[in-house]
Amino acid sequence: MENLKLEASERKLNTKGDLKKLRLEGFLPGILYGDKEQNLPLSVKKISIKKMLESSNFMSSVIEMSIGGSKHKVLTKDINFHPINNEPTHIDFQKIKPGTKVTVNIPVKFINNENCPGLKMGGVLNIVRRKIELRCAAENIPAEIIVDLANKEMNESIHISSVKLPDGAKPVINDRDFTIATIAAPTVVKEPEPAAAAVDAAAGDSAVTAEGVAVAGEAKAADNKAKPGEAAKSPEAAKKPAAAAPADKKK
């Protein structure tokens, strides 16, 4: 894995006022912890740290740090953030030497999704662990852990024992063959079918309605039917009052 590079300066400002001024000028206060050497207060440019934070494996990357002409290989030990704006406020580094054993979280990368029979059948990749904590030599830290999905079937689990790790690297969890991911069967949600009673009730309502319309139509036709010796009355004529008989003229 290619080392990151970072410029740092020895810091002699320690009061709260000094640290506040340092941050306002665009720097982060920090500490470089040595193996057997004295810890060194330092400062780094905030913009450099924010750029490094964009990397998913920043905390597990070896950094080549330059301090006043001397170079050191370090790992990020801890970083603090502002509780409101989430800006970095302080950072600590740990100096490492060849052969030093370190514990790091390494991101997992899945490959050959297109060659996975389980996924082709509609299965879903269920990721259990996106990072795996490893114990390894500082000069042999992997950038990522590769998980090959080729030939993985539906409902198959992928365990740590099936993954190739760098020489000398061992998972911190060593008491079980833990699961990294599974190819899960798809979950299908069926629409509930309408109850038979509800269908019958709906059909009954339609029948009653149709029958009621038919009966009403028959009653209306009966009212309009003419009696013997009478002409059939239209609905408009039936509504009009009968005309008054003319009065007898006086002779």
* Same domain for 88 and 130: no
Query: Which pLDDT score, from 0 to 100, does residue 208 have?
Result: 40
* Same domain for 61 and 18: yes
Report DSSP letters for 198-214, one per residue. Answer: HHHHHHHHHHHHHHHHH
List, in sequence order, the alpha helices (H) in the chain: 16-24, 46-52, 117-120, 196-224, 235-239
Distance, in Å, from the CA atom of 6 to the CA atom of 231, rounded to the nearest integer, reads 111
Query: Which pLDDT score, from 0 to 100, does residue 222 have?
Result: 47
Tell me the pLDDT tens digit for each residue of 134-174: 999 888 888 889 999 999 999 999 999 999 998 889 999 99
The answer to pTM > 0.75 is: no
Does residue 30 form part of some domain?
yes
Does residue 110 form part of some domain?
yes
Query: Which pLDDT score, from 0 to 100, does residue 35 have?
Result: 67
Residue ranges of the chain with pLDDT lower than 50?
Answer: 197, 199, 201, 203-240, 243-251
Query: Which pLDDT score, from 0 to 100, does residue 170 have?
Result: 93
Query: Which pLDDT score, from 0 to 100, does residue 125 have?
Result: 95
* Same domain for 32 and 14: yes
Domain endpoint, select from 164, 184, 204: 184
Name the token pair of 186.
Answer: 């798809």
Query: Which pLDDT score, from 0 to 100, does residue 188 have?
Result: 63
Does residue 114 form part of some domain?
yes
Query: Which pLDDT score, from 0 to 100, does residue 138 have?
Result: 85
Query: Which pLDDT score, from 0 to 100, does residue 83 have?
Result: 93
Does residue 237 form part of some domain?
no
**Total domain count, the chain:** 2
The CATH number linked to 160 is 2.170.120.20
Query: Which pLDDT score, from 0 to 100, does residue 16 have?
Result: 83
The CATH number linked to 13 is 2.40.240.10
Between strands 157-159 and 179-184, the pairing is: antiparallel
In three-state secondary structure terms, 58 is helix
Does residue 221 form part of some domain?
no
Distance, in Å, from the CA atom of 174 to the CA atom of 165, rounded to the nearest integer, reads 14
